[in-house]
Structure formats: C-alpha cells, structure tokens
C-alpha cells in the first residue's frame, strides 16, 4: 500500500502516520519527492486495507497494491477451478450449457422444455421458483411446488437443475431440491444470503450485479469461499447502460478479466444481458469466443404465455440452432460441452 501525502503535510503529521502504520505491525518506508512525500507500507497489506488511513491528517490518497480478495485470486489457486454440478463439470475447458424457462409454471410444460433442451445438448436445466420481480403485483413464483416440479423434471431427464434462492431462510429448502444455487444480480451484495450459501454444500452460481466492478464480484465470491464453500461459478449478465435499445449492457470483457484475476469459472447470460431474442445468439458466441466457461439462455416453448421474461426467451428450435454454432466454436477452441452421461441428478 502506498500513502501519498498532501503537498503541505507537516513533519508532525508524517510522524503520526508512521506511528499508526507501525501500530498495525507494518513498516513505513518514507520517500521524499520533489513535490510530494510518499509512504510505502510494507508487510501484510490486508491489515491496512480495512483501516481508515485516508482520514489521517496530511493524507491525500491511499493506493492499494494487493488485491483485497485472497481465496478467489489466481495467486491462491493458479490453476482454473473445475466446479462439479452433480456430475457436470464447469471450468477448465468444460462448458456449462444452462437452459430453461425464466419461471417454473407447470409440470407438463417444464417437461416439454426439458426434453427439448436436453436434446439440443444443454447440461443444466434452469427454472425459477422464487422470482425477484420489480413489481409487487407481478407473478412471484410457485415457491416450494415449483422446486418440486423442477427437481422431478430434472430427474426424469437426468439433468441437474439450478434455481434462484432469494432469502437466507430458504437456502436449506432450495438446497434440498437444486443441484446448483443461484444468487441473482440484485442480491449479489446481500451479504446475509452469501454467508448462508457459503455454509451450504451445494455449488453456487453467483450473478454479477448491474453496477458491480469485477473486484466487487470477486469480493462477493470471497464471502462464499471464506465460509468454506469453494464451489462458486460466476456469471456476467449485463450492466446498467444508457442505451434503452437493450435491457442491459453486455460486458463480455468481464470474462477475460476474471480469467486473469481468478481461478473461478465464469459463464455468460446473454438473455438477461440483452433482453432481445435476436441478440442472444451473437452474444452467446461472443461469450464463448472470449473464453467463457458456459452460457445461460432462457428457453420457453411459448414466450407469449410465459409468466416472466417471455420476451427475452428463445424458442426450442432457436436454442437448438445456437447450440450447434456453440458446439462448432467450442471444438475450434479445444473445449467441450460437458456431457450429461455421468451426471446423476440428486
């Protein structure tokens, strides 16, 4: 850590700052420049990062050098992590292909959609039972019955399932039914919820918040990792942007950035990132080309009847087409879509 002092910092202030640093069992290394004095903090920077050094009189700027996350960093784990979702491998060249309707609505429909996406090559089935809706008057999900349907359909088609958990009180319940617990973008910094899934034995799909930096995202993963759950998959699903043509702003560069900072797998969600069916296939391919460990796409067999997010869903036939293109691209890059063969849904 480097502390840049104000041009007019007094000797007394400098001494006071050095004293504070040494009280934290760190060393202060003074460097007097032509216009400014700079103090290098030597030792375990983590101790200093949580202290309010910018509030010390005479301090102009504090520059962190060490990353504030440890377990999520590439330093801690130089090889890419491979997360195991009930037999489906994610990361290290293995691609997750998550598909399904926004919300679980009805068992028969879920069955039809599951059959179609498994046929197209998907390896994880999605479906929301607890839905975070912007309006309190919109459909809030089927709850426990939705979880039951999702699990039963997954078992019938021998495909693991993922669903969102929104409330720390529901983590145990959802973990009984789902192979992968999803934390939605709006709850990325719901720290109570993160701690709770950190205590679970289920892997976690952590979606990036709409205005989260990559470091913010990794700090949230760190919350989960630091509780002992090392099975975390990250997901880019679009940022808040200024162009209303799309629902969000798809940040594909997030993928290689995560790769150079962390060992955790990261997938992309072009459905939420764009909100427009026509843009989903090109953005899905862009994600794979950028190095993503998988793609999350909403699929519904009758979007106009969907109870949630219908307008951004692909039809099963459209999904099949983009899956074929992604297969070709994965092959070119020397990666594979993880096979369902070995997967045993819980």
The reply on whether position 63 binds a copy of itself by CB under 8 A is yes
Give the CA-trace dihedral at 175, 194, 135, 274, to 10 degrees: -90
Q: Tell me the C-alpha distance between 61 and 53, whole Å.
A: 9
Residues 6+ apart with CB under 8 A from 69: 215, 218, 219, 221, 222, 262
The reply on whether position 226 binds a copy of itself by CB under 8 A is yes
- The burial class, CB within 10 Å (0-12 / 13-18 / 19+), for 331 is exposed
In which residue are the tokens 């955790």 written?
Answer: 264
The reply on whether position 96 binds a copy of itself by CB under 8 A is no
Q: Tell me the C-alpha distance between 176 and 172, whole Å.
A: 6
Q: Which is nearer to a copy of itself, 89 or 259 (CB)?
A: 259
As measured in angstroms, the least distance from the Cβ of 140 to a copy of itself is 8
x-or-dash string of contact with a copy of itself, 118-147, rule CB under 8 A: --------------xxxxxxxx--------
The reply on whether position 93 binds a copy of itself by CB under 8 A is no
Written as six digits, the tokens of 284 are 């899905």
Contact predicate 218/262, CB 8 Å: yes
Q: Which is nearer to a copy of itself, 317 or 342 (CB)?
A: 317
As measured in angstroms, the least distance from the Cβ of 278 to a copy of itself is 6
x-or-dash string of contact with a copy of itself, 308-327, rule CB under 8 A: xxxx-x--------------
Please, what is the Cα angle at 313 between 128 and 112, to 5 degrees?
70
Contact predicate 175/202, CB 8 Å: yes
As measured in angstroms, the least distance from the Cβ of 293 to a copy of itself is 13
- The single residue among 125, 180, 204, 288 that binds a copy of itself, judged by CB under 8 A, is 288
Q: How far, in Å, are 140, 150, 231, 254, 290 from residue 202 at the CA level?
A: 24, 16, 8, 25, 28
The reply on whether position 92 binds a copy of itself by CB under 8 A is no
Written as six digits, the tokens of 261 are 């900072």
Q: Tell me the C-alpha distance between 301 and 284, whole Å.
A: 20
Q: Which stretch binds a copy of itself (CB under 8 A): 51-59, 120-128, 148-156, 175-183?
A: 51-59
Q: Tell me the C-alpha distance between 71 and 49, whole Å.
A: 16
The reply on whether position 65 binds a copy of itself by CB under 8 A is yes
Q: Which of residues 194-213 bind a copy of itself (CB under 8 A)?
A: 209-211, 213
Q: Tell me the C-alpha distance between 227 and 57, whole Å.
A: 37
As measured in angstroms, the least distance from the Cβ of 195 to a copy of itself is 8
Q: Tell me the C-alpha distance between 293 and 161, whole Å.
A: 17
The reply on whether position 66 binds a copy of itself by CB under 8 A is yes
- The single residue among 106, 251, 301, 321 that binds a copy of itself, judged by CB under 8 A, is 251
Number of residues that bind a copy of itself (CB under 8 A): 105
- The single residue among 12, 119, 145, 282 that binds a copy of itself, judged by CB under 8 A, is 282
Q: Which is nearer to a copy of itself, 87 or 91 (CB)?
A: 91
The reply on whether position 242 binds a copy of itself by CB under 8 A is yes
As measured in angstroms, the least distance from the Cβ of 174 to a copy of itself is 13
Q: Which stretch binds a copy of itself (CB under 8 A): 62-70, 76-84, 115-123, 154-162?
A: 62-70
Q: Tell me the C-alpha distance between 303 and 141, whole Å.
A: 16
x-or-dash string of contact with a copy of itself, 255-274, rule CB under 8 A: xxx-xx------------xx
The reply on whether position 35 binds a copy of itself by CB under 8 A is yes
């Amino acid at each position: 850590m480097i502390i840049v002092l104000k041009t007019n910092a007094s000797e007394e202030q400098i001494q006071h700052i050095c004293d504070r640093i040494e009280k934290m069992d760190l060393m202060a290394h003074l460097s007097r420049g032509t216009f400014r004095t700079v103090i290098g903090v030597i030792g375990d920077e983590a101790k200093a990062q949580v202290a309010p050094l910018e509030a010390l009189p005479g301090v102009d700027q504090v520059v962190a050098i060490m990353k504030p996350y440890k377990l999520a960093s590439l330093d801690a784990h130089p090889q890419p992590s491979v997360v195991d979702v009930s037999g489906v491998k994610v990361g290290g060249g293995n691609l997750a292909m998550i598909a399904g309707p926004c919300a679980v609505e009805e068992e028969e429909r879920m069955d039809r959609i599951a059959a179609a996406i498994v046929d197209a090559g998907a390896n994880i089935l999605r479906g929301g039972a607890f839905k975070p809706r912007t309006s309190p008057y919109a459909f809030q999900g089927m709850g426990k019955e939705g979880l039951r349907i999702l699990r039963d359909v997954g078992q019938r088609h021998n495909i693991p399932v993922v669903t969102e958990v929104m409330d720390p009180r529901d983590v145990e319940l959802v973990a009984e039914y789902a192979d992968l617990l999803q934390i939605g973008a709006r709850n990325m910094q719901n720290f109570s919820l993160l701690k709770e899934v950190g205590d679970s034995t289920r892997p976690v799909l952590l979606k990036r918040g709409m205005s989260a930096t990559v470091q913010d995202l990794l700090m949230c993963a760190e919350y989960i990792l630091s509780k002992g759950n090392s099975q975390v998959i990250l997901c880019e699903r679009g940022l808040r942007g200024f162009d209303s043509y799309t629902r969000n702003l798809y940040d594909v560069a997030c993928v290689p950035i995560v790769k150079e900072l962390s060992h955790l797998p990261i997938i992309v969600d072009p459905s939420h990132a764009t909100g427009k069916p026509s843009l989903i296939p090109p953005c899905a391919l862009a994600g794979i080309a950028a190095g993503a460990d998988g793609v999350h796409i909403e699929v519904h067999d009758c979007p106009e009847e969907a109870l949630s997010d219908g307008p951004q869903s692909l039809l099963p036939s459209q999904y099949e087409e983009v899956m074929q293109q992604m297969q070709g691209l994965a092959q070119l890059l020397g990666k594979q879509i993880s096979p369902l063969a070995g997967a045993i849904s819980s």
